[in-house]
Chains A and B, each alone.
Chain A
Amino acid sequence: MLSSVLWILGPILESLIVVRAVQGNFLKEYKLFYSYIIWVFLRDLSLFAVYHSWPAAYAYVYWYSQFFSVLVGCGVVWEIYKVALANYPGAARMARSVLLFLFIITMSRIAVYAANNAKWLPGKTTLETEREFRIVQALVLIGLLALLAYYAIPAGRNLKGIILGYGVFLGTNLAQLTLRDFLGDKFQYWWQYIQPTTYILVLLIWCCTLWDFFPSPESGLATRIEVDYQSLAYETRKRLRAAGSYIVKAIRS
């Protein structure tokens, strides 16, 4: 009974999120994110139908569509990158290098694992495969967030909500997938409650933070963008050295 309620609550909240975006006319601001929500909404409805009319096929449909969800989820991380760094070309350039590096490192790990397993899929099961890709997404998201914190880039309420919701989703998903893999069928009973509950929590975060449109705040500071980067970096390095030698001089004298 409870699992059915949780199951129905998911599509209701998903549709609410999309309806609010349509009403507020900000669906186009986060296209990839809303594509993800619409995909999950359609998937939930299809799974509900399959479960009740064709239960034997449920597991196949679930895991294969889940794999596609992981791919669509990459779009959410891409959206965060695009929206957060839209007004910051310097930070965006840095992000491209750092994120590409992180992506290559984590994907190479998966490729090596897949090659050793002599299967095209990197894990023994779809569950393991999903977990590996969630780790890639999580690391890329953390890298991106670290850059946002480093460059003090302001994020609006909407963007913060998307990041927080997807971050909670990735973290809890990773823990659940591990427990499911580790404990096997023993965990299945709990899985049917824990998984939708955490997902409802994520949807509630998105509902609250995406109820209205909040654009990313402007930094509001006059910056020295007219200076070319080489001289800017040179000046900063010079001043850092000056600070270092100032301390050494004070101690030496």
Chain B
Amino acid sequence: MHHLHDFVMGIGGESGEGIMLAGDILCLAAARSNIHVSSVRVFPAEIRGGPSLHRTRYGVDHVFNQGDRYDIFVAFSNQHYERHRADIAPDATVLMDGDPATFHPAELYPELKDRTVYVIPMDQIARQKVGDPRTKNMVGVGACSALFNFNREKIEQNLVERYKRKDERIYLNNHAGFVAGFEFATASLEKKDPYRLKPADGEGFLVLSGNEAIGLGALCAGCRFYGGYPITPASEVMEFMAAELPKVGGVMLQAEDEIASIGMVLGASFAGFRSMTATSGPGLSLMAELLGLSSMAEIPCVVVDVQRGGPSTGLPTKTEQADLNLALALSHGDAPKVVLAPISIQDCFDAMFRAFDIAEHYQVPVIVLTEQALGHRRTDLSKRILREMPQIEVKRVPRSFDPQSFLRYQINESGLSERSVPGDPGGAHVVTGLEHGENAAPRHDPENRKLMMEKRQRKMRDIEERFGGVWQFGSEKAEIGVIGWGATAGVVREAVQKANAEGIPVAAIYPKMIYPNSDKAIRAFIKSHRVHVVLEENISGQYANLLESIYGAELGFKPERLNRYDGLPFLPSEVLETIRRIADQHGVKRAGNRAGAAVGTQEVQK
């Protein structure tokens, strides 16, 4: 039989049935076998009850997104099959709970006639064979292990780690459920589907969510204070920091609200700590005033916004990219700031190093925009990211500056002034959100105001120079240029790859930093492509509007726009379809049959 090693697997059931656990165990077993994964858990909107869904894409090569339709779907009951049947691929394999002797799914669901269906008495085995109905999920895991080559030893080892020391009986039941499912599939099911994982050599991968990668990155980048307030979908960053910061002398303080949390961040930063908070749209809205203070008083801070559907309470558990305008405005007044938008989970980790370096060196607020679809998605990362990361020295006072000539806000060519922190002898000064002179004392005169506004703004020039840049995918001489930002990169990258393989000359670009604008690379990209598409998850086209305001008049930049704003991330197929349509509309010639060879796929960092 011809085997397929890349597939999307969904597991659907009632919350409380252990759907997420089953999915996580399979996902981890794959990652430990050096198989790439990309995984999302979809919780019901209600606190208890309702449907749960675990979705993982497995691949021999890197998987950059959650994929399209399900190639394998495990339904813990008929209603969960019904809920997702529209998203199941025509050639998919379906596992259903039921008695194989009496339950014939194709009679109920005609579309299953053409699909491979395995009926597994998951509930019955759990009740009768294991004697514990709660092990139904483990029976499912066992069957999947046997059918699709999820490594049996690695799963059993994982069960030992999870349960053995905590509760021997729970361990034994779960293990018995797993074995019963495995043995049922081995003995009673004839393998008819093509899906089979292909383990590779190596030490196994880390599996991290975007939010965990943010926390890990921040920790490694020297963050030692986190002022937090719970908010979906960002709370996992706070929870990570709560566990890790005390071990390195840091503190996670759960504040009374987001205004307090950013206030504490500024206090801790003033005291010399690399400090941050993470929130979502409603929290960022509340922080606006103090982020202006950070900019005005030149006190570093890093704020991560895991965007969700807005405005107001909006869609707390769904994704959107609609806080860009808020981040760009940041506060009242003209407040220099930096906006980053990581494009992947790996980049969530990497971006935190950039964020803290920029914040500390340039004494500005740095906003890191991720989104629910990135924060809650899990993917594999190499263990090397931790073993080979840059060593950040967490600096202690006193610092070096000349107390005789120290001026906290000295005006100079770079706009960067020396900074002292409490405890530095001779460095005493009083920072203020009022306009101030070089010695930090409030000043209202127009001459000083002008000089200070320009001093703070000057820092942006150097930041753009040093930290600006883009990621670029696709063929260099492409006619179509796709521009996006943030987490959509994983989907666009795959769509561009597939379009290139079809001979459509298309490339995509993602800014490493949204503000200050990475002008050089984006200008060059716009100039070198005839047809432009700006793609983002919001209704008004916030990034497209920004780029048009910069390049519209000068370069005649008037891009096609692809916007999704239903709370769900783009699918690779939908972006590919748009690229095809735009190619046709604009008369873009395809590169003939030498698909992929004529137009290579590459990733460029500029």
| A and B held together in a complex | no
Binding site for A on B (CB under 8 A): none
